[in-house]
Each structure stands twice: as C-alpha cells, then as structure tokens.
Amino acid sequence: MELCVALDLSTQEENLALIEKIKEHDVWLKVGLRTYIRDGEDFLKAIKQINPDFKIFLDLKLYDIPNTMADSAESIMGLGVDMFNVHASAGKRAMQTVMERLSSYKSRPIVLAVTALTSFSEDEFQDVYEKGIADKADQFSKDAMDSGLDGVVCSAYESASIKDITSKEFMTLTPGIRPFGEDAGDQKRVADVAFAKEARVDFIVVGRPIYQSKNPADVVQRILEQL
C-alpha cells in the first residue's frame, strides 16, 4: 500500500511549502481539479524541481464523450504524470477509447476509473444512479477492467469486493482515509489505515490530516509506519 498526499491548499505557495516539508518521504502527490485549473502544468514542473522522484496523480476525473476523453488523455501524456483517472460512468466505450488511444505509447501512466465518489451517502447515490453503492461500484469495476484500465477509485468499503470480482492485481485507490480518527469533513464513507489494509487497498489518499497539521512531515512518517 502506498500513501498519496492530497495537495488541496488554497494557494500554489501553500502547496509548494507543504511539498518542501515532506520532500524526504517516498509518497505520491495528488493534484486535483482546483489546483490544476489554478496552477496548471507549471505546478507539476515545480513539484519535480523540489524532488524529481515524486510520483504525481492527476485527479481530474475525465468525463465527456469518448473522443474528447481520449484527446484529453493523450494531452495528459505530455504532462509527465504517473497516474490519472476518468469517470467509469462515462461508459465502457469511453474507457475503451481512452485505452486504445494510449496503446500506441511505449509507456503510459496508471489509469483508474472513479466508481462512487466518497462524498456520496447511500441515499444520495441512489438518487443519481438508482442502485446501491456497493453493487454499482462492482459493476463499474468490472467495466473498467474489461476496458483495459488498471484499477478504480472507490471507498475502502468497496475495495475487498472489487478485488474479489476482478483480480488481486486490479488496483484500488481510496480517498477519505482518516488515519488517526479525524473528523470526516465533507466525506461520508471514511476509514482508517487498518481497515484499508484489511480491504487490500493499493493507494490511500490523505489530505486534511496532513496539511492541517503543524508538523506535516511527522504525520506522513506516522502514516508510513502504519503502512
């Protein structure tokens, strides 16, 4: 299991200051929608200047018509990131089109599909998808695997079932991890590290417990010790 630190602070300067504090640790860095819209490709380059060994997860959750998603995925190839994601609910044809487009490259980033956002409650999810989270996450995961993707984004509560119906090599990345029992905030389906390990999660994403701490490097170290 690997740790992915969410760079969700309100300015580029704050994010870069956080990266400086944790640059000695072997972690992934997650660049989300707000950060990328605000700071763009230059921010990705700035990360590598601090530590070229950092791996970057570009969390944009692509969702559009198949050709536009494939065009966007091809553009992401030029950014030098190590992982990105799409929405599984865009459909199998869209996911297949993305992977077909990337197949011409000698190497490519890890590609994951978002199943159910961890901010959804069960009732909220059913209002949108007319099906329960667990069942739909399983279905989305099968679709993603059949489409050639490397894994999915899900909550820790769906990870074990997804591994069972796909394969142990099919990756799961789980946001909403609260390593020391912190407040859930705007997330509904949160878990701790021990639960994530039991659920065979491959990547955990931790944000607020790290960047709201007075000593982010110490929190990162404590999480890595748990892993």
Residues that are catalytic: 61
DSSP secondary structure string, 113-162? EE-S-TT--HHHHHHHHSS-HHHHHHHHHHHHHHTT--EEE--HHHHHHH
Helix (H) or strand (E) holding 59: strand 55-62
DSSP state, residue 105: S
Question: What whole-number distance in Å separates Cα of residue 78 and Cα of residue 105?
Answer: 11
Q: Which of 47, 13, 9 is nearest to 28 (CA)?
A: 47
Backbone phi, then psi, for 224, in 5-degree steps?
-60, -35
